[in-house]
Amino acid sequence: MLSPDQWRSLADAHQRRADALTSARRERVGKGEGHAVDDFLYEYYPTRPAQLRRWHPGVGVELADAPEHAGWRWYGSDGGVTSVDAVAFWAARGATVDFVTGLVASTLSRRTQLGCFGLHEWAMVYRDGETRHELPLRLGAAGTDEVVAANDVVCTHFDAYRFFTDNAVPLNAHALTREDQPAMEQPGCLHATMDLYKWCVKLTPAVPSALTLDCFELAAEVRRLDMAASPYDVSGFGLEAVRIETPEGKREYAARQREFTARGEVLRRRLLDACEAIRVAGRVEEPAR
């Protein structure tokens, strides 16, 4: 159990950190401006800075004198003590907890693959008259197509693969489906690492907010590499291109991918621990017959 002074100190520190991480987004929204790189984390994973700002201790932590938390969804109070109602959360979201647990555990168990070189973004515009972002292609349409045709496309992430152009789909080494996602995810995939943030959001407030912000912060870094290695010219956003069409660019991409994999492993294990805490606290044994 945390006293009011204890949990308010933690909540205040969390809010300051969240405000620092989302300040640019909030400023852009106030001006009606967009950002083709960073807005992805708010639009593809639909969340608002205000949601990230809310501090949740996660399952198993009791808060003394916390009436504001008592009024939030999935919380319950008893005798002036407030905590996440793990039983109610499990009853409603148990299937999601099990899915995330299975997906994250299987991803952790799989060998890291570093040979994709971010070609998923290139495959999304291959031999197509349109682009997914209102940005110029760094090598032009013909140059972009040449890079895709000259390299092996080995994407393992369904939510990237599903945006491939019709011409690019047969080039991928794997015919991916949603059902096969747990069998195909691997820890070197940038999008699988970014998705750790998505799973934390889906399991809010039962996972600790500190984990959610850690995953958000890593996802923001991964997203910048994702776009720096893409076919788009992102120099206007202060990003230097990772030229994966060259041997030097491939080495740089793989090195940074390896670093993100190591950091993602730590977060995956923490997320598994959080899921196990939900499962243990949320399950109610059926009475003996």
Which pLDDT band, with edges at 50, 70 and 90, does 286 fall under? very low
Cβ atoms of 101 and 40 closer than 8 Å: no
For residue 263, is pLDDT > 50? yes
Query: What would the pLDDT profile of 199-227 be if each residue is shown by its tens digit?
Result: 999 999 999 999 999 999 999 999 999 99
In this prediction, residue 161 carries a pLDDT of 96
In this prediction, residue 130 carries a pLDDT of 79
Any idea what DSSP says for residue 140?
H
The percentage of the chain sitting over the pLDDT mark of 90, rounded to a whole number, equals 94
Radius of gyration (C-alpha) of the chain in whole angstroms: 21
In this prediction, residue 201 carries a pLDDT of 96
Query: What would the pLDDT profile of 180-189 be if each residue is shown by its tens digit?
Result: 999 999 999 9
Residue type, 64: A
Diameter over CA atoms, the chain: 70
**pTM score of the predicted model:** 0.93
Mean pLDDT of the chain: 94
Instruction: Tokens for 238, please give them.
Output: 């202060």
In this prediction, residue 287 carries a pLDDT of 41
Question: What is the pLDDT averaged over residues 250-260?
Answer: 97
